[in-house]
Amino acid sequence: MNSISPNLNLMIKASEKASKILIRDFGEVEKLQVSLKGPNNFVTNADRKVEKIIIEELEKSKKNFSILTEETGFIKNKDKDNFWIIDPIDGTTNFLNGVPHFCISIALLFEKEIIAGVIYDPIKDEIFYAEKNGGSFLNNKSIRVSKKNNISGCLYGVNFRKNLPENLIIRNTGSAALDLAYVSCGRFDGCFQKNVNLWDIAAGTVLIKEAGGIVDKFDLKKFNKISIKASNERISSDLNKKISIF
């Protein structure tokens, strides 16, 4: 592994440890698909178990950062200005229905800026990570955004269709975090997400920036109903002209 900070190392270890529970529980969810009871309550418990493991691991840093999580909300610790941002299962609907496309997402907001992020897809065993001024990586290999420059020939990860130009090639994968991760490594050329939460996108934004991409600014004090546009640098200007809904 390339040289990384203690904070990012802790985030990676936390996601790896929590992923073991997630993989096991996903196997159980697939079995529950054919039962009358269904997997809803089981998935809620899986979310909470994964979140608990991640929090326990991150708190080993002894820095008393606060914590923002999907399940519990904002947990105030001694340091109220800097905090970990956790989504234990991004792509919950996929997980719920036995679709193997979901991830763990962890970010660190420090001095009013997201400076580190980890997105771990446990089923594909793909771990994306980045920190400010340190580059972006997938399974320890450096990654960059795509170099395409024609917006109509690009592929975009989105969570909506209305008001987008008809000639755009889009995919709604059900995981905003993985959409952003895919932009960072060039699988997607851009990403548009509306009304998402900070924990859905925090880690992905630093991944894209460190991979040479562009992410529109958004209010970090806002935890919900965020809209975001991200892409490689070559198509960013044209997208801003074509898409004005943000």
**Closest to 205 measured CA to CA, from 136, 103, 138, 159:** 136
Whether residue 116 is found in the same domain as residue 174: no
Q: What is the pLDDT along the chain (246 residues), one digit of tens a residue?
A: 568 999 999 999 999 999 999 999 888 876 655 444 455 666 778 888 999 999 999 998 878 899 999 888 888 888 888 999 999 999 999 998 889 999 999 999 999 999 999 999 999 999 999 999 999 999 999 999 999 999 989 999 999 988 888 889 999 999 999 999 999 999 999 999 999 999 999 999 999 999 999 999 888 888 999 999 999 999 999 998 888 766
Do the bridges between strand 103-110 and strand 79-90 make them parallel or antiparallel, or are there none, so unpaired?
Answer: antiparallel
**Closest to 175 measured CA to CA, from 70, 78, 62, 40:** 70
Give the span between the Cα atoms of 210 and 105, in whole angstroms. 17
Q: Is residue 118 part of a domain?
A: yes
Give 119's DSSP letter: E
The distance from CA 9 to its chain's CA centroid, rounded to whole angstroms, is 17
Give the span between the Cα atoms of 203 and 186, in whole angstroms. 16
Note the pTM of the prediction, 2 decimals.
0.93
Whether residue 57 is found in the same domain as residue 76: yes
Q: Is residue 35 part of a domain?
A: yes
Give the span between the Cα atoms of 98 and 29, in whole angstroms. 6
Whether residue 126 is found in the same domain as residue 236: no
- Tens of pLDDT, residues 166-196: 889 999 999 999 999 999 999 999 999 999 9
